Amino acid sequence: MNTLSTQILDALQEDKRATLVQDWIEEAKARNGGLPRSAAADAGEVVSAMAHALRDGANVDSFNDPKWSALQQVLSDLSRSGAAQGQSVGQTSVFVLAIKKPLLSALQQRNGSDGVQLASAFWALTTLVDSMAQYMATTFQRAREEIITRQQEELLELSTPVVKLWEGVLAVPMIGTLDSNRTQVVMETLLQKIVDTGSELAIIDITGVPTVDTLVAQHLLKTVTAIRLMGADCIISGIRPQIAQTIVHLGIDLQGISTKASLADALSLALQRTGWRITRQAS
């Protein structure tokens, strides 16, 4: 263990740890404002992991040393927790950077007036803490991307519900832009629902789709083909005049696919195909 590691480890000893953590929290508050209730406990975990790594001979000059893995895991957990709680990457990084001041103060007291040794210690410690902050920022960004991706998938599922309109008749009301990802979600959800319910007909309502171009039409045709392969049939409703003109101008072939202007018309056709007859009761 080199001199710097010994000095840092000395500052992290259990009898000095409470004071170090308190100074760290005060510095973090001064920089970051409010802190989560678990800040003191989080700081204690970081300090403990740092001390453990240094006792095992972790390289202070390289945070890629495998012996830092336990500390990296603690920092990763803090980053992911902060991302889930809606904190910013700056708030997360500033928290760990705040440990720099109390540790530097401890090194200064130990080295006294030895300017060369003090400068070397300051530089090495600064590099280590900066590496810790960078690691947290990278992990935070990755966690945020995972959260965003998961939320997008959940929104896709929510925005493409498959509802049972009648015995043997399903409907998918489409709202917004229809892209490849959304088409895949619609197809998987609808096909599974057909299997689960044994439905014979599926209505795809595009009333809420703002525009229909060649790509959207291809997505619809793929969905219809998949439905037919499952032994069911499909009706497309919501064909407004503007969309009808666009389909004609683009030369899109919807031959063999039943289309209706409204969901009500599509449901009426579906009921006829499935053998239902609806009559109005005389008053």
Q: Which CATH number fits domain 3-153: 1.10.357, 1.10.490, 1.10.287, 1.25.40?
A: 1.10.490
What is the domain partition of the chain in residue ranges?
3-153, 163-273
Q: Which fold has domain 163-273?
A: Transcription Regulator spoIIAA (3.30.750)
**Would you state the pLDDT for residue 115?**
64
- 26 pLDDT exceeds 80? yes
Tokens linked to 179: 């892209």
- 170 pLDDT exceeds 90? yes
CA distance 271 to 254: 22
E strands along the chain, which residues? 163-166, 169-175, 201-208, 233-237, 258-260
- 32 pLDDT exceeds 80? no
- 276 pLDDT exceeds 70? yes
CA distance 59 to 38: 29
- 158 pLDDT exceeds 60? no
Residue 208 pLDDT grade (very low, low, confident, very high; cuts 50, 70, 90)? confident
Mean pLDDT of the 12-22 span? 82
Contact (Cβ atoms closer than 8 angstroms) between residue 260 and residue 269: yes
- 132 pLDDT exceeds 80? yes
**Would you state the pLDDT for residue 154?**
63
Spatial strand order of the sheet with 233-237 comes to: 163-166, 169-175, 201-208, 233-237, 258-260
CA distance 68 to 259: 63
Tell me the pTM: 0.58
DSSP per-residue string spanning 228-260:
HHTT-EEEEE---HHHHHHHHHHT---TTSEEE
How many CA atoms, within 13 angstroms, populate the side-chain half-sphere of residue 188? 9
Residue 86 pLDDT grade (very low, low, confident, very high; cuts 50, 70, 90)? confident
CA distance 80 to 64: 20
Instruction: Give residue-wise pLDDT tens across range 51-75.
Output: 888 888 888 888 888 999 999 999 9
Instruction: Give residue-wise pLDDT tens across range 214-233.
Output: 887 888 888 888 999 989 99
**Would you state the pLDDT for residue 31?**
80
